[in-house]
Each structure stands twice: as structure tokens, then as C-alpha cells.
Amino acid sequence: MEKIIICGYMGVGKSTIAKHVSEKSKLPFFDLDQLIISHESNSIDEIFKSKGEIYFRKLENELLNNFLKSKKKFVLSLGGGTPLYYNNSNICFDPDDILSVYLEANLELLVERLFLDSNRPLIAHIKSSCALEDFIRKHLFERHHVYSKAKHRVNVNDKTPYEISNEIINLMS
């Protein structure tokens, strides 16, 4: 398989794991959020603030579609919300030539990783770990059924990026 898409909730390690998979598989690595940042010459946070989430999601869908049409080989890390909008889950998870992987983490790990991360527009306003836990719990409930459409699920709890990327590499054969 020469097309790999990594998805999951924010803070699960999508970009880190995708980079490891890229190195091990010798496939080029891309991060959809970075493609958006380059296209707009602005941070995700600034795009959300200045143009709004609807603009961001439309742009995300357009760039994702263009990327998938133009690239033959890749490891692509999606943004946490990418699969939820437009036809993104279908174009990422349905094609037979794409190995899609949902990185799954427990609530405690996500809260631990995200609590002090103010660079994420959806959670920048949250000031307590209890409020963050409630926010993540709600979003995981809403998103899980979409993430679960990925062809494979890899649990990241208590594993190193090396172990997780090896699991994904083994799925390629």
C-alpha cells in the first residue's frame, strides 16, 4: 500500500506517528494542517479567528480533494475534524488503494496531552482539566462513529511512537 491516511482526535499523535511511518516506509509525509497553513500563509488559529470555521472546513475539503487527486504515494496526517465534514470520510476511508488508520487514545491520555496546549483553536478557551475532559468526552462521542470508518484502528495508549508506527507498517503487508 502506497497511500496511508492517519486520523484521530486532536492530541492522539497523528503527525508524529505519520512521520515515523513515512520514514519507515520511505513514503513522503504530508500533514493536511501544514498544507492549509502554507496555502493561507497563516496559522490554523488565525484562519479560525479571521475567516471562521466554515471557511476553514471548505478550504480543508478543497485542499484534501486536490491532494488526493495529485499524489500517488504518501503518508498523510489529517486534522482531527477533517473526516467529519463534507465527503472527507468517504474520500479518505472508502478507496481500496488507501490504507486508513484511526489512532485511538483513552480520555485520560488526551486530557494529559491537551490540557496545556493553547495552540488549538477549539480548546484554547478551556481553563480547567475537568472542563477539557467534558469537552473531549462529548467530541469523542460525536466523532467516534466517523473515525471508526477507517479500515484499521490502532490503540496508542501506553505505546511509543516506534511501536505504533510498527503496527501500521505491519498493516501494509
* Cα gap 122→131, rounded to integer Å: 13
pTM above 0.85, yes or no: yes
pLDDT in tens, 92-146: 999 999 999 999 999 999 999 998 776 787 888 888 999 999 999 999 999 999 9
pLDDT in tens, 60-79: 999 999 999 999 999 999 99
Q: Which residues make Cβ contacts (< 8 Å) with residue 74, sequence separation at least 6?
A: 2, 3, 4, 27, 28, 29, 30, 67
Question: What CATH number should be reported for the domain holding residue 112?
Answer: 3.40.50.300
Give the residue numbers spanning the domain of 81. Answer: 3-171
pLDDT in tens, 18-34: 999 999 999 999 999 99
How many domains, the chain? 1
